[in-house]
Amino acid sequence: MLVIVFILFLLHYLRNRFDIKYKDLTIIVGTLLLLILGMQYNDFNTIQSSIKQSGQITTLLDKIAAELDVSKTAVSVNSTTPNDNVLVKTPKGYFRVNYNTDGSQFVLETVQLRDTNRVKIEGEK
């Protein structure tokens, strides 16, 4: 819609070059169009990053389930993004995930919780 308005103002400006209001309106609509396109591109990049991080946490959960020899559905996590504060709940207990410096490998560290009722695991009832 905004593109059509931009084209219409541009055509009016090109027909009436001495009428400055069409030039100003074309510049305003063009700037607004660029602003909206920039915001859309930023939203697109945010969604792509979120999808990538969700895939990384899913891969992490698959690796943890295989390493601990438990079902994939029995593994819960407290974060949807891979970071150093990921807490994993399995039938074998709670674990903290510690990544190496480049994030390509991880180590599971057993964690003893004082009050398990205060830990909220996403997807758990």
Question: Residue 65 has which token pair?
Answer: 């389930």
Q: What is the pLDDT of residues 57-67, one digit of tens each?
A: 788 888 888 88
pLDDT at 124 over 70: no
CA 114 → CA 87, 117, 124, distances in Å? 14, 9, 19
> Which residue reads 């063009």 in tokens?
30
In this structure, are residues 80 and 123 in contact, taking their beta carbons and an 8 Å threshold?
Answer: no
- Mean of the pLDDT values across residues 17-46? 88
Residue that wins the pLDDT comparison between 50 and 95 = 95
Q: What is the pLDDT of residues 37-93, one digit of tens each?
A: 999 999 999 888 877 777 777 888 888 888 888 888 888 887 777 776 788 888 888
Instruction: List the chain domain ranges.
Output: 2-118
Question: Residue 90: how many CB atoms within 10 A of its CB?
Answer: 20
- Mean of the pLDDT values across residues 96-111? 81
Q: What is the pLDDT of residues 108-123, one digit of tens each?
A: 888 887 776 766 665 5
Rounded to whole angstroms, the Cα distance separating 84 from 102 reads: 12
Q: Calculate the dihedral angle through the C-alpha atoms of 73, 78, 79, 85, rounding to the nearest 10 degrees.
A: -130
Q: How far is CA 26 from the centre of its chain?
A: 35
